[in-house]
Amino acid sequence: MAYLGTPGNTIQVLKKYNFVFQKKYGQNFLVDTHILEKIIEASDITKQDCVLEIGPGIGTMTQYLAESAREVVAVEIDRALIPILEDTLSEYDNVTIINKDILKVDIGRLAAEKNGGRPLKVVANLPYYITTPIIMGLFESGVPLDLITIMVQKEVAERMQVGPGTKDYGALSLAVQYYAKPEIVMQVSPACFMPKPNVGSAVIRLTRHAAAPVEVKEERYMFSLIRASFNQRRKTLVNGLANAAELQLSKEVTAAALEQMGLPPAVRGESLTLAQFAELSNILTEKRQDYKKA
């Protein structure tokens, strides 16, 4: 079978099935074999690996994955693409197609069934409107993953790897860097897709940390602090956290914690590193426990 990663072959498949692009699913199919080969190379896939592909589309990248991996599980939300995938991937006996929303898939169970509980590798050309929920869902679920290689909107990729003091730095940067080492592999032009998206894309590789880079007593609480501090990023941390009703933090308590860390009360969340957020979280966790005892 001919590879699908060219405009001509993609058009042929779409015409055969009278496929209509669904805007609600953010469908943009990759039509550049050079980019596809680079993604496979960046994914470090071997014949020992089980790969989870999110949003296979018509199976363009799935073909490459099936040839490189032991097994591929492709999760596609659009029911109209399932007969196309069954056709384009009919030559491969190591591909399982699941017609489901990835956010509703039990990936832990999938890893247990398909890979004996060993870490999966994830490869995806993610719809831009749902990138963050998918990435955070993968990390927060606690499922075994060791490498995530994804195509995302260029700005989102940049946001994942920046540090404090930059305009793109935010809750996503901190969350991704807590779980993994982010590394942009390449930029991808809109011309490499069908239809062309309105924005540039980038392939980013997220290598899962063996252990978290910071010690934090209550992970969920730290992320609540991070989200609250970036919800109103122009405000000082003291004011931003006081405005977050769910945290129930007084300005005095936050100011005292910052002072303990050697930081001024007027500091903003955007200037704190991941290690500083972990330290702040640990200090405030202790203070909360002291209140409960009292």
The residues spanned by each domain of the chain are 7-208, 219-293
Residues 219-293, CATH architecture: Orthogonal Bundle (1.10)
* Percent share of the chain, pLDDT over 70: 97
Residues facing 29 on adjacent strands: 194
CATH of domain 7-208: 3.40.50.150
State pTM to two decimals: 0.91
Give CA–CA dist 291/170, Å, rounded. 30
* Partners of residue 123 on adjacent β-strands: 53, 149
pLDDT confidence tier of residue 69, bands split at 50, 70 and 90: very high
Residue type, 291: Y
pLDDT tens, 204-244?
999 999 999 999 999 999 999 999 999 888 899 999 999 99
Report how far residue 170's alpha carbon sits from residue 162's, in angstroms, rounded to the nearest whole number.
9
